[in-house]
């Protein structure tokens, strides 16, 4: 059995908090524990922040589409933006000593650290979609 | 309500910033940046940042800690961290920033390290 929640939010910073709040509520409603929820919360915040900032570039005419799914496998988060896309391989490793003092570039590291699977793809209808799974 | 409250105390020539709330993208990160710039503008460049009241931090907040660290260093000062929560400690470990920051659990020890 699978349970799903979908939401569409505008491209502004406040959407990061709202998405995390909705994720927390949904995760609690399906009985996940605090540690699990904390990991999802961080992954949602980072992915939605990326969609707003780097994907849609704060263009409020563009939306961020978010989907949470609870299944026997675990908890999946999908975040879609309507930007030009990017290649995660192009993001410098923030743990490389040469990059340690950079002010940004750690969000993807957090997503990969707290979720079991993270993958990006171009959406058929345009934009980029990131799918993240935390297994149970 | 503001995401974060930043209070300032003075212990000799060390300025202690007590942070309470969230250091996240948007308001929390901006508030921290503003506080550090103001201290440096006032010539206060020995700074101890007490993160014991920070319930949440994201990559933007971690980035702001790094920016604060480099801004203070650039002015010939020192920024150290006090009372990391387990979560912040985990995030600093993942990002290998525990190798960058001086971190203390005791305010007295932290203050002594500035001498």
Test B66 with A103 for CB contact under 8 angstroms: yes
State the total domains in chain B.
Answer: 1
Answer with the residue of higher pLDDT: A86 or B33: B33
Instruction: Report residue A58's pLDDT band, with 50, 70 and 90 as the boundaries.
Output: very high
| pLDDT of amino acid A1 | 56
Residue B108, burial from CB neighbour count under 10 angstroms (0-12, 13-18, 19+): exposed
Question: Which helix (H) or strand (E) segment is A108 a member of?
Answer: helix A107-114
The answer to whether the beta carbons of residues A132 and A69 sit under 8 Å apart is: no
Give the start-end residues of each E strand in chain B: 4-11, 14-23, 46-57, 78-82, 103-104
Question: What number is the average pLDDT over the span A78-97?
Answer: 91
Question: What number is the average pLDDT over the span A75-81?
Answer: 97
Test A49 with B99 for CB contact under 8 angstroms: no
| pLDDT of amino acid A92 | 93
Give the start-end residues of each E strand in A3-101: 3-10, 63-70, 74-80
- Altogether, the residues listed in chain A come to a count of 136
Residue B98, burial from CB neighbour count under 10 angstroms (0-12, 13-18, 19+): middle
Which residues in chain A have their CB less than 8 angstroms from residue B69's CB? 101
Question: What number is the average pLDDT over the span A28-34?
Answer: 94
Is B30 an interface residue toward A (CB < 8 Å)? Answer: no
Is B62 an interface residue toward A (CB < 8 Å)? Answer: yes
Res A49 pLDDT > 80: yes
Which one of 1.10.3720.10, 3.10.20.30, 3.20.20.140, 3.30.565.10 gives the CATH number of domain A3-135? 3.30.565.10
Test A106 with B26 for CB contact under 8 angstroms: no
Give the span between the Cα atoms of A82 and B113, in whole angstroms.
50
Is B24 an interface residue toward A (CB < 8 Å)? Answer: yes
Test B94 with A104 for CB contact under 8 angstroms: no
- List the single range of A15-24, A73-82, A88-97 with lowest mean pLDDT: A88-97
B15: domain CATH number is: 3.30.750.24
A117-132 tens-digit pLDDT: 999 998 888 899 999 9
| pLDDT less than 50: residues of chain B | 1
């Amino acid at each position: 059995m699978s349970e799903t929640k979908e939401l569409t939010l505008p491209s502004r910073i406040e959407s990061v908090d709202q998405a995390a709040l909705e994720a927390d509520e949904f995760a609690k409603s399906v009985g996940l524990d605090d540690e699990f929820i904390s990991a999802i919360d961080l992954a949602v915040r980072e992915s939605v922040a990326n969609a707003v900032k780097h994907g849609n570039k704060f263009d409020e005419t563009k939306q961020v589409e978010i989907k949470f799914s609870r299944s026997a496998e675990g908890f999946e988060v999908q975040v879609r933006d309507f930007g030009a896309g990017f290649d995660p391989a192009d993001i410098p490793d923030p743990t490389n000593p040469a990059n340690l003092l950079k002010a940004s570039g750690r969000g993807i590291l957090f997503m990969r650290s707290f979720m079991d699977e993270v993958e990006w793809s171009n959406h058929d209808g345009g934009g980029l979609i990131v799918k993240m799974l935390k297994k149970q | 309500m503001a995401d974060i409250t930043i209070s300032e105390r003075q212990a000799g020539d060390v300025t202690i910033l007590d942070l309470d709330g969230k250091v996240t993208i948007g308001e929390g990160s901006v508030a921290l940046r503003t506080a550090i710039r103001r201290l440096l503008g006032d010539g206060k460049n020995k700074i101890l940042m007490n993160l014991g009241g920070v319930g949440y931090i994201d990559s933007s907040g971690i980035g702001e800690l790094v920016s604060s660290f480099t801004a203070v260093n650039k002015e010939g000062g020192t920024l150290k961290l006090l009372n990391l929560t387990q979560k912040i400690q985990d995030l600093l470990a993942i990002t290998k920033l525990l190798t960058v920051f001086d971190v203390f659990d005791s305010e007295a020890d932290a203050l002594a390290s500035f001498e």
